Amino acid sequence: MNVQIESSWKQRLEGEFAKPYFAQLTAFVRLEYGRGTCFPPGKLIFNAFNLCPFDNVKVVIIGQDPYHEPGQAHGLSFSVPEGQPFPPSLVNIFKEIEQDTGQKMPSTGDLTRWAKQGVLLLNATLTVRAHQAGSHQRQGWEAFTDAVIRTLSCEKEHLVFILWGGFARSKAALIDSSRHLILQSVHPSPLSANRGGWFGNRHFSTTNVYLSANGLAPIEW
């Protein structure tokens, strides 16, 4: 699979890599990728970490699963590569950014530009079988990404954790709210967003106010 992870993350997560569950997870993922199409491509499984080293993290946006259709997943939650149509949730994210900050909808759904500014776009499960949402859940990824969240919460200060939807909001228990800002709302998917609570949450401007108040550069959404 040619999986590599950025050195600052490797150093902080080496204890997780040494645990039995991670060996079992690795064996499962290798088997899955060996016998059929899975996403993202193996070299992009840890893309969120490779684009956003530990010391650079300012914001964490938690998703659940990678996209499971061809050409969409590239290791960043909610993001799609250049040239791919915007999934419905991403459309609503961009609509809220426009309402909140006045920034017009971009021409690309590739959120690499966010990652390079310090936004960790973290899916709780980092791989998926083609056309089968949730197919790699409960195999160990959640234990790994929970450890990522706890490590960030304990070792850094003044992060913004953005939790959209019930699944992401369940991760609030892993975060020290006395050290970090936790922003929560319904999920941006049309089914949730259209019921109310997504549009007008102002998470993007609120994030930047908090970062600026703590001496950190705001995100250019």
Active-site annotation holder among 55, 65, 100, 146: 65
Q: CA-CA distance, 174 to 69, in Å (whole number)?
A: 31
Instruction: Tokens for 27, please give them.
Output: 């064996």
Q: CA-CA distance, 17 to 22, in Å (whole number)?
A: 6
Q: CA-CA distance, 170 to 154, in Å (whole number)?
A: 18
Separation of CA 22 from chain center: 20
**Cα dihedral 79, 83, 87, 92 sign:** positive
Judge residue 11's burial from the number of C-beta atoms within 10 Å of its C-beta, 0-12 exposed, 13-18 middle, 19 or more buried. exposed
| 8 Å CB contact between 68 and 39 | yes
Indicate if 146 belongs to the active site: no
Catalytic residues: 65
